[in-house]
Structure 1
Amino acid sequence: MAARDARDGRGGRSKGFKVAGLALAGALLLGFAAAGWAYWHLNGNINSVDIEGALGDDRPARPATVPSASPVPTGALNILVLGSDSRSGEENRELGGGDSGGARSDTAMVVHLDAGRTAATVVSIPRDTLVDRPSCPLESGDSTREASNAMFNTAYELGGPVCAVKTVESFTGVRMDHYIEIDFSGFAKLVDALGGVTVTTDVDIDDDKSHLHLAAGTHHLDGTEALGLARTRYGLAGGSDLARIELQQNLVKALLEQIATTDLLTDPPRLYQVADAVTGSLTTDTGLDSLGELTGLGRSLGGLAADDVRTVTLPVDPAPWDPNRVVAREPEARDLWESLR
């Protein structure tokens, strides 16, 4: 039964993730190598949120760190990565983001980098997971209300990145060292800048909501089509979010393969296009809101190969009182989060 099995698999048999980290670093370093205006443009693209200042000390403890002589960061790291279903901006509306009534985190992954940055675990959190949502501070000075058995993605909808991070830390007990958010239009632009992405689907996809219609087989998708694949849900296994997560994980691997086969470092125009797409689509915490900080993260992934990346889905069961929602399956979920501390 799909809802009862955590999907657990290795990345493709290539050096895709390693090359992706190096390519990201190269793309961001372009700002230093090119004219000054390029640096300031790319650096100015990045939006940030002061999550550290908003949440203060009421958070899980940071793990102990071991001093290292390495010129790049090597400590263990947990990063909350969200794909936002933005409800504002003309481009996002055209891609299915809807009107300007709010925003949701339709894709959520906790990326754990082991100490030494030679292995990683990517945990996908189903958006329909029911959690106890804590009270979160708002920019207005007010706070959101606590809620029991709330859908996970309502945290972002009500309180933005700060509440998304606090909610994840609350139900996992794992501190998020960084936050990265990519929006609809930014993801599509990134795929287009890379020349598209090739994916294989085992089933036909016919989803009017994501505007995607594909026969089973191998397809080379442009940015809009790749975004549709990431959002596809209602054409899969009765609208299962778990089936969509599996598609998203396969799409990420395919995108890494595309980066690995695209020689960005010898193609400055495309390199700049990718760098512009990456930085222009991001919202980060203040610890990653500059080219230098993002470049450092990319360089630290230089020793990480695809075979060292494990992708899993949070173990869940259907909620006893609502078959359309899921709850974390214990003790498997607790053991998974414990392994990331």
Structure 2
Amino acid sequence: MTGHDGDRRTGRRQAVVKAAGLTLAAALVLGGAAAGWAYWHLNNNIRSVDINSALGDDRPAKAVTTPSVSASASASASPLPTEALNILVLGSDSRSGKANKELGGGDSSGARSDTAMVVHIDAGRTEATVVSIPRDTLVTRPSCPLSSGGSTSVAYNAMFNSAYSLGGPVCAVKTVESVTGVRMDHYIEIDFSGFAKLVDALGGVTVTTGQDIDDDKSHLHLAAGTHHLNGKQALALARTRHGIGDGSDLGRIGLQQKLVKALLEQIAATDLLTDPAKLYQVADAITGSLTTDTGLNSLSELMHLGQSLKGLTADQVRTVMMPVVTAPSDPNRVIAKEPAASKLWKSLR
């Protein structure tokens, strides 16, 4: 490998490009009145849920850290935060509509969380761990407040993803916190069509699979090897489970984690600032697909988070799955493997 090639590859692995940076840059490069309209449009794309108010104080304690502040940051009127963060990221088919239905999404009465990841960012924000939680995990689902009033009942041996179906983001966060003992500082949800649009806006993603994939349910048929996927194909890969391994959710998680890495690499390798039209397309796809907690529901808040993660590189993002074993009550379900699962969650507090 030549030095030039090494520099290029290193550049492609540089900091995970943040949605906030993209959206803000989109507004800046358009200039003038167009910039004002772009900022307004992108900012209003983002939907939010006030999870903190809904859950109140009945939650795990926030991690107590002493963030370090650089000389330049301490001189700033608004220094960037460096404390550890835990963010629940869900991929869902919760938004009804033609685009989602064409991609296999559900309707408003059948919302599901197909993907659940706890993203832990270490203090200093230069390393991160992404923990996938199998949706087929049996858990004790706690009582959750409902937006219509009242609350759900505690449910034992409930499927993990039933929390979202029953009580939306609030119950999803409540359940994750109950299972892990880890406080979720933020919540981010991305829907089917938005994910596919993002991949298409980036020009696709390149993924290498170690085995053939033949899944009629996700409509994905790939021979083992390297493939450049468009948005619809990438979404099918993220949802594939019947065409690989034993057909369980565990095999799908491996594909999802591979896809996350590929997407980060593609974003880092795409010079969006030289192409304002593509930049805006990517920013619109990202913000148009997001539901967040109220702490991240504006471009300025997303930008502040993104800037605080500028020292985080793709090489320093570790992907793991919550340790599980087959559930004694159902061979098609899993439960947390102890003490390994508790040890993992303790490391993220």
Is TM more than 0.5 here? Answer: yes
What residue is the counterpart of 1:170 in the other structure?
178
**Cα distance 1:22–1:284, how it changes in 2: closer, same or farther (>3 A)?**
closer
What residue is the counterpart of 2:21 in the other structure?
25
3-state DSSP class of the match of 2:188? strand
Could you tell me which runs of 5 or more consecutive residues in structure 1 were left unpaired when the two chains were aligned.
1-12
3-state DSSP class of the match of 1:74? coil
**Cα distance 1:23–1:131, how it changes in 2: closer, same or farther (>3 A)?**
closer
**1:140-183 deviation per Cα after TM superposition (whole angstroms, max 9, x unaligned):** 11211110010000000000000000000001000000000000
**1:149 aligned to 2:157?**
yes
What residue is the counterpart of 1:49 in the other structure?
49
What residue is the counterpart of 2:63 in the other structure?
63
| 2:11–2:269 contact (8 Å) kept in structure 1 | no
What residue is the counterpart of 2:216 in the other structure?
208
**1:314 aligned to 2:294?**
no
What residue is the counterpart of 2:308 in the other structure?
300
3-state DSSP class of the match of 2:262? helix
Aligned equivalents of 2:337 and 2:275: distance in 1? 47
Could you tell me which runs of 5 or more consecutive residues in structure 2 were left unpaired when the two chains were aligned.
1-8, 74-78
| 2:203–2:230 contact (8 Å) kept in structure 1 | yes
Aligned equivalents of 2:300 and 2:276: distance in 1? 19
Aligned equivalents of 1:319 and 1:286: distance in 2? 36
| 2:19–2:302 contact (8 Å) kept in structure 1 | no
| 1:29–1:295 contact (8 Å) kept in structure 2 | no
| 1:48–1:283 contact (8 Å) kept in structure 2 | yes
How does the TM-score come out when normalised to structure 1?
Answer: 0.93
**Cα distance 1:20–1:213, how it changes in 2: closer, same or farther (>3 A)?**
same
3-state DSSP class of the match of 1:88? coil
**1:251-301 deviation per Cα after TM superposition (whole angstroms, max 9, x unaligned):** 010111111211012211111111100000000000000000111111111
Q: Of 169, 194, 201, which residue of structure 2 is paired with 1:161?
A: 169
What residue is the counterpart of 1:339 in the other structure?
347
Q: Of 141, 155, 174, which residue of structure 2 is paired with 1:133?
A: 141
| 1:205–1:236 contact (8 Å) kept in structure 2 | yes
What residue is the counterpart of 1:124 in the other structure?
132
* Cα displacement (A) at 1:240: 1.5
Based on CA coordinates, which of the two structures has the bigger radius of gyration? Answer: 2
* Cα displacement (A) at 1:23: 7.0
Query: Percent identity of the aligned residues?
Result: 75
What residue is the counterpart of 2:288 in the other structure?
280
Aligned residues: 329
Superposition CA RMSD, Å: 1.5
Aligned equivalents of 1:179 and 1:259: distance in 2? 22
**1:9-30 deviation per Cα after TM superposition (whole angstroms, max 9, x unaligned):** xxxx855564333575143342
